[in-house]
Structure 1
């Protein structure tokens, strides 16, 4: 990532606001630095000239005011940086979560969950240092350094030329050290991702490892990865301290060279004391922002590495873009109605698939499928494992690109359109920490207790109290109860928002016969209300209760 990546400004408008505020504060701080050097020079020259204290006091008072003003400006810049960092992180997180939602669970499941979590949480938190330390110094370098060099040139041409000649040494050292820093920082970031992924894998499979007596080997593996991360971190710190020393040495030698030149000219009378002292006070301030940019680059390196990965996710539209015939085009070719604003939200009628083809990479999973799902019927979609049942559901949800025509009540459903008419529950319940009621009413503006109880009842989970508090991933419920609460969430959405289509993917795979019968009775109630109810299942009881069964056949690839 570059020192100021344009993608940061494109994806987070708060960054543009901070740059504007930071530039104004940096310019004001530069003027205050010049005023401070001039007032201090005047106070010293008046004192050397033997002026009385009454003559010097106004200058000292102004100097004290400038010191206070500079402190206030530094504080304001820090506050603006911290607020800007918080706003930018919030906007970037919102954008990446929206992008992940657009790509859908199919794409997210193909990625390392620990990697995504690390980038969105710990990685973005490291942007605090980028905004609070690095970016303010970068702004001061762009604003303060040119202005201060111009003032030095105006006061003393020889000193100004000396500064112009020696100041490029610092960027040269910065570039050389920056390449090393970038390399070791990337290695540290990769080590952190390996540690996060390895730890998550061990925690997820700890029960299996314990049963087979393999937990000790995983303990050694985690310890090895942790030691690698510690080593990488210490290497980054070593490079940081070394680079700080080199930059300080270069700046100190440059100021010393300037001081020797000024001192010699003061001795032979070629330079006035006021001019020499003023230039000598400004010279370190001209070097300071540039020196701090190099020093603070290390503090911001974690955030830059995480932001680079995040921008890669945001920039890649290959998954979200459908490069095939759209549903709207196919529907138009079949003489079907095009959707109007809000029309699908109130649509009622059959859900129809006409020549729907779904691909996974270069492989065709569903080929030219024609199917009708009528309202008022319980439709079951079945087939052998791997035939493409879940893939078809993902296509109906809009998460997987497809070709062909998909219509609801004769109205075409476009590929990327919202689906307010659809309620869905997947194979995994996807429960969160909180009460059962909060999980059932997930996404609703306000929960309706009566509907929550009804949804649990129709899902065959009447014994589960809405007030029960769950842990992470639905901890506190059995597998079957969690599955029924997940189904209740879809049923609640269908009841609360008048969804016309309900899709459940293997909702009874972990249920006994009594619980399954309760769920099927609830689904029958929903179908009797005139909804399209689609259940993906291979369970005999579900197939026996169906009004309409669609069997997917496995494609033979030659």
Structure 2
């Protein structure tokens, strides 16, 4: 990962800590209190041991010191427990807030952006990647402060006793973070590749699981099984690479901490034997002070070692933050929304309209057209011409440049919720929820059973529902996999007809249907179009009437527009389509 990007992501992660509230300062306070109690406990233990060894004082004479050490031990245990709880709560608050922001951002960007990645990839971002931020806020951030406070506190206690011991501690301490950084430089890149492999595996597995029936039908199950196996093997290799770096860094940290403590032990051993005579302040090296320093030496390096352990939490968090930062803070253009009420007249007018992707690229246009209220419009063109992009712009799912007005008011100035209430939307891929048939049709509307049955009959699926064991209470599987595509499309049609909108937006509603289902669905849609404006994307010219207005798109441009009967007599792509289908 580029160093500038890593610094930017680390800064962004630190900026999010305000969500953690007072739990991060509390974790830091408890860590500092634990260190102070440790120094006091070490001093009491060194004094007791020195007195017992040199003076032979009975242990009973040190009962107050022993009781004080027991109290300090209990205090340290409470501080450690409280610090873990505070760190966990800090991370929990952060994860909740970040997941909420991700969901809000996806809601703002809309379905057009969500469909740009697989469901498994989004699940990986919302679950695994956000989860990896826990230790960064719960442990790493407090430790970055404690790694400076605790060694300074210990040095302040050691230096007045022996300046040589202080120099040894001060001189060897930088070796640990130095090698921690050297090892950690590869850890960030390894974690980033690990998350990418996990995202690919999640998306691949979920997509193939949802299409398992189709894969079996076309005898592709074995090939896709091999593809999932290859993705799993890549994920395993990435995971082992991260673990290798983790074990390597732990070994390096332990080695240099052990070497540093050994230097202190050698210095004090030779000093007490009389072979070294420096470092003290004239009174010689005493056993009690030597024990005190040796007891504190491991704790001097402990914050650095813990920071090295949690450094991988930082590497994981930075790798996870890359995709989250791009989503939350990246230059993604969300559709604009105002608060103006929807006008009474719903005539649509586009002037030099350019439909944009969320990253600012032009998907369609510039084009100009007008749709009168109640007009029947067919949008034709080859795949990739921009037909669905135009409907997504009308739905408020894609940003646009130029002018797109409804009743003379810019779409970006309208209250999107009120505008969408005027739309009846039906796509070629109906989205059904895991719930009852009643819930899928009503979608939270207060509809009676009689109203739901009337809608099902209008969509020509009432007889099918009446034949089900539970009727309206029949549970549907995820994505409607327990019923056929034609039945799912007709249920989606019943749901659309439940709305009171005055504009029908239809994206090839009969594309995935058999002949009989398509005939029934299109017949219901023609009835529903009476008195309403209809914009229909279709490849079938036999579904249109001669009086329908046609917008023909190709290569992102509006190449022909007019009444179908007029375009049939004029030279152009529409006449060629009619000739190909034998309708001329």
Shorter-chain TM-score bucket reads 0.7 to 0.9
The CA distance in 1 between the partners of 2:101 and 2:63, in whole Å, is: 56
The alignment's TM-score, normalised by the length of structure 1, stands at 0.82
The CA distance in 2 between the partners of 1:484 and 1:102, in whole Å, is: 29
Partner of 2:346: 350
Conserved 8 A contact 1:543-1:549: no
What do residues 62-115 of structure 1 show as CA deviations (whole Å, max 9, x unaligned)? Answer: 211211121112112212222222222222222223223333333333345543
Conserved 8 A contact 1:11-1:95: no
Conserved 8 A contact 1:487-1:504: no
The CA distance in 1 between the partners of 2:203 and 2:428, in whole Å, is: 23
What do residues 122-181 of structure 1 show as CA deviations (whole Å, max 9, x unaligned)? Answer: 222233343455445334324323333333234433222211110000011101111232
Partner of 1:503: 505
Partner of 1:271: 285
What do residues 23-76 of structure 1 show as CA deviations (whole Å, max 9, x unaligned)? Answer: 222222222222222332343345444445554222222211211121112112
Deviation at 1:207, TM superposition (A): 4.8
Question: For 1:2-13, what aligned pairs fall within 5 Å after superposition?
Answer: 5-11=10-16, 13=18
Say which is worse superposed, 249-258 or 433-442, in terms of deviation.
433-442
2:489 matches 1:483: yes
**1:101–1:73: structure 2 CA closer, same or farther, 3 Å change rule?**
same
The CA distance in 2 between the partners of 1:265 and 1:185, in whole Å, is: 47
Partner SS state of residue 554, structure 2:
coil
The CA distance in 1 between the partners of 2:37 and 2:164, in whole Å, is: 24
Partner SS state of residue 469, structure 1:
coil
Deviation at 1:359, TM superposition (A): 4.2
Q: Of 378, 382, 402, which residue of structure 1 is paired with 2:379? A: 382
Partner of 1:554: 554
Aligned length: 526
Q: Of 231, 237, 244, which residue of structure 1 is paired with 2:243? A: 237
Partner SS state of residue 159, structure 2:
helix
Partner SS state of residue 420, structure 1:
helix
Partner of 2:65: 59
The CA distance in 1 between the partners of 2:154 and 2:408, in whole Å, is: 71
Gaps of 5+ in 2: 1-5, 275-282, 466-470, 560-584
2:401 matches 1:403: yes
Q: Of 283, 306, 312, which residue of structure 2 is paired with 1:298? A: 312
Conserved 8 A contact 2:378-2:537: yes
What do residues 436-455 of structure 1 show as CA deviations (whole Å, max 9, x unaligned)? Answer: 3343455x5x7655565565
Conserved 8 A contact 2:505-2:535: yes
Gaps of 5+ in 1: 323-327, 329-338
The CA distance in 2 between the partners of 1:261 and 1:105, in whole Å, is: 69
Partner SS state of residue 334, structure 2:
coil
**1:553–1:257: structure 2 CA closer, same or farther, 3 Å change rule?**
closer
Decide which structure has the larger Cα Rg and report it. Answer: 2
Q: Of 264, 289, 305, which residue of structure 1 is paired with 2:303? A: 289
The CA distance in 1 between the partners of 2:435 and 2:94, in whole Å, is: 28
Deviation at 1:478, TM superposition (A): 1.5
Partner of 1:333: none
**1:452–1:95: structure 2 CA closer, same or farther, 3 Å change rule?**
farther
The alignment's TM-score, normalised by the length of structure 2, stands at 0.79
Q: Of 50, 75, 80, which residue of structure 2 is paired with 1:74? A: 80
Q: Of 150, 154, 161, which residue of structure 1 is paired with 2:156? A: 150
Conserved 8 A contact 2:426-2:506: yes
Question: For 1:505-524, what aligned pairs fall within 5 Å after superposition?
Answer: 505-509=507-511, 510=513, 511-521=517-527, 523-524=528-529
Deviation at 1:515, TM superposition (A): 4.1
Deviation at 1:206, TM superposition (A): 4.6
The CA distance in 2 between the partners of 1:64 and 1:362, in whole Å, is: 68
The CA distance in 2 between the partners of 1:30 and 1:82, in whole Å, is: 20
What do residues 370-422 of structure 1 show as CA deviations (whole Å, max 9, x unaligned)? Answer: 21342xx3634331333432111111122222233333344333269633321
Partner of 2:564: none
**1:411–1:225: structure 2 CA closer, same or farther, 3 Å change rule?**
closer
The CA distance in 2 between the partners of 1:127 and 1:249, in whole Å, is: 28
Partner of 1:162: 168
The CA distance in 2 between the partners of 1:169 and 1:267, in whole Å, is: 29
**1:30–1:447: structure 2 CA closer, same or farther, 3 Å change rule?**
farther
Partner of 2:277: none
**1:147–1:457: structure 2 CA closer, same or farther, 3 Å change rule?**
farther
2:396 matches 1:392: no
Conserved 8 A contact 1:461-1:515: no
Deviation at 1:519, TM superposition (A): 4.5
2:123 matches 1:109: no
**1:319–1:413: structure 2 CA closer, same or farther, 3 Å change rule?**
closer
Partner of 1:191: 197
Conserved 8 A contact 2:459-2:491: yes
- State the Cα RMSD in Å: 3.5
**1:271–1:351: structure 2 CA closer, same or farther, 3 Å change rule?**
farther
Conserved 8 A contact 1:130-1:300: yes
Partner of 1:88: 94
The CA distance in 2 between the partners of 1:154 and 1:276, in whole Å, is: 12
Partner of 2:294: 280
Conserved 8 A contact 2:110-2:397: yes
Partner SS state of residue 551, structure 1:
strand
Say which is worse superposed, 274-283 or 8-17, in terms of deviation.
8-17
Partner of 1:14: 19
Conserved 8 A contact 2:387-2:537: yes
Question: For 1:331-342, what aligned pairs fall within 5 Å after superposition?
Answer: 341=339
The CA distance in 2 between the partners of 1:11 and 1:407, in whole Å, is: 39
Partner SS state of residue 376, structure 2:
strand
Partner of 2:411: 413
Conserved 8 A contact 1:484-1:507: no
